[in-house]
């Protein structure tokens, strides 16, 4: 005997097949086909990344690290000391105070780094949405499983009660 999706939807979700969301229909179908849910969405997506996405992730990871901040701070202090103090004394500073060339470099770094970090964040939001969909599927499957177990326990309890009543009737007849 084959269980139909509409029957399972009525029994477990107490809803008509047509009223189910796309995710709920997919879960019912997968339950019937006994397909296991995905395990690690992040790892699955990692394998599909393009070169640009991998590069954006690395730039975002580097730009958001304390190592980058501390090394960039040392670079800025070094630049200021070199141009204002050491080379400035001899009048040979290649970027004298107020460090216009340094400001140009910082603006270019920010102009390039910001969109790359945003690309990485957008990609991460896609992964988060995939993980949320997977979590929903796993939770719905668990709920369906629990409901199926409850239904089965109710059936067993009814059967057990019927057997007890039958034994009472037999015992009452035997006592007469």
How confident is the model at residue 15, as a pLDDT?
A: 76
Structural domain contains residue 130:
yes
pLDDT tens-digit readout, 46-96: 778 889 888 888 888 888 899 999 999 999 999 998 888 888 777 788 888
Residues 66 and 131 in one domain: yes
Residues 125 and 70 in one domain: yes
Q: What is the domain range of residue 103?
A: 50-175
Residues 81 and 145 in one domain: yes
Structural domain contains residue 44:
no
pTM for the complete prediction?
0.58
56 and 124 in contact (C-beta within 8 Å)? no
29 and 8 in contact (C-beta within 8 Å)? no
Residues 72 and 109 in one domain: yes
Structural domain contains residue 42:
no
Residues 25 and 66 in one domain: no
| pLDDT bracket for residue 36 (50, 70, 90) | low
Integer Cα distance of 53 and 122 in angstroms: 10
CA-based nearest residue to 96, from 78, 109, 107, 80: 80
pLDDT tens-digit readout, 121-143: 998 898 898 888 888 888 888 88
Distances (CA, A) of 125 to 41, 120, 121, 122: 12, 9, 6, 5
Structural domain contains residue 141:
yes
Residues 66 and 150 in one domain: yes
Integer Cα distance of 76 and 164 in angstroms: 86
Structural domain contains residue 43:
no
Residues 23 and 66 in one domain: no
What's the number of domains the chain is made of?
2
Q: Can you spell out the DSSP letters for 149-163?
A: HHHHHHHHHHHHHHH
Tokens read off for 112:
């390039």
Residues 162 and 119 in one domain: yes
Structural domain contains residue 41:
no
Percent of the chain with pLDDT over 70: 93
């Amino acid at each position: 005997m084959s269980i139909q999706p509409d029957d399972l939807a009525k029994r477990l979700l107490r809803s008509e097949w047509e009223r189910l969301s796309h995710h709920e229909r997919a879960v019912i179908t997968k339950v019937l086909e006994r397909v296991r849910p995905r395990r690690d969405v992040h790892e699955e997506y990692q394998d599909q990344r393009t070169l640009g996405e991998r590069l954006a992730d690395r730039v975002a990871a580097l730009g958001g690290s304390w190592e980058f901040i501390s090394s960039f701070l040392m670079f800025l202090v070094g630049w200021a000391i070199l141009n204002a103090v050491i080379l400035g004394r001899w009048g040979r500073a290649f970027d004298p105070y107020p460090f216009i060339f340094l400001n140009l470099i910082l603006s270019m770094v920010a102009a390039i780094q910001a969109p790359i970090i945003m690309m990485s964040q957008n990609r991460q939001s896609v992964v988060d949405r995939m993980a949320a969909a997977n979590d929903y599927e796993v939770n719905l499957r668990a709920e369906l499983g629990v409901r199926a177990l409850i239904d089965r326990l109710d059936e067993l309890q009814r059967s057990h009660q019927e057997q007890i009543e039958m034994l009472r009737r037999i015992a009452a007849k035997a006592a007469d």
